[in-house]
Amino acid sequence: MFIWSFIVTLVVILTYAIFVVYAERKAAAFVQDRLGPAEVGPKGLLQTVADLLKLLQKEDILPTYSDKILFRLAPWLIFTAIFWGFTALPWVQGLVGSNLPSGIFMIFAVVSLDVMGLFMVGWGANNKYALFGAVRSIAQIISYEIPLGLCLLAVVTFTGTLNLQEIAQQQAIDSTFHSYLFGIPGIDVSAWGGVFTWNIIRFPILLPVAVLFFITTLAECNRAPFDIPEAES
């Protein structure tokens, strides 16, 4: 059962990543008034697949004076931390890799391990510029983990549970919880479903929390305008 859960989660993550990267590049292109991916496949749909094939053919190079054990172990640690976090996410009703009572806490704990991987690769490269870049990236991630954790705690405060499956179920149309429009008693929208049963509608105070959560996740993922650690042109 564990092996099948691992395989299904891995396939879902990789497939999801392909389409999300394409969607992000298209959205960024729209905002910046350009086309974005347009050459590979119809409307550039296969551009991410082409990039994946290109990266798989890259030469695997180790710096001459690097700590080879740390340098090779770091990517595995980062991947394991991120993958482990995905296992606690509820994909659909009743389908979750690890239905843990403390799912949010587990995700926040294991995803934080990627900081160790970043430091290992920066230190293992035995290069001062690589170390500077790793420390800069680590500083940004640690700084934004605090507001990110506070955003998650705000949701836990209103839902009363750390279990992600239960949090999702509370927002379902067949939930036993009553949903009131913008928290106003008497305006029961439980039967409407959709966005009307979302926590940001049931508890309007979570709207600014959702905005803050979005900003902090951009910083955690090094996406624009917080992409300085990646040093992309």
Transcribe 166-224 into DSSP letters. HHHHHTSTT-SS--BGGG-TT-B-TTT-GGGGSHHHHSTTHHHHHHHHHHHHHHHTT-T
Give percent of the chain above pLDDT 70: 91
Summary mean pLDDT of the chain: 83
Q: Contact 118/186 with Cβ under 8 angstroms? A: no
Bridge pairing between strands 95-96 and 90-92: antiparallel
> Which ranges of the chain would DSSP assign to H, the alpha helix?
2-31, 47-56, 68-86, 103-111, 114-124, 128-159, 164-170, 199-202, 206-220
* pLDDT number for residue 215: 92
Q: Residue range 25-39: average pLDDT?
A: 86
Nearest CA-CA partner of 191 in 201, 204, 178 = 178
Q: Residue range 149-161: average pLDDT?
A: 88
- Give 2's pLDDT tier (boundaries 50, 70, 90): low
pLDDT at 179 over 90: no
- Give 96's pLDDT tier (boundaries 50, 70, 90): low
pLDDT at 72 over 60: yes
* pLDDT number for residue 1: 56
C-alpha separations of 136 from 81, 119, 130, 162 in Å: 20, 10, 10, 31
* pLDDT number for residue 216: 92
Q: Residue range 198-206: average pLDDT?
A: 84
Q: Which residue has the higher pLDDT, 137 or 12?
A: 137
Strand partners, 92: 95
pLDDT at 31 over 60: yes
Q: Which residue has the higher pLDDT, 105 or 95?
A: 105
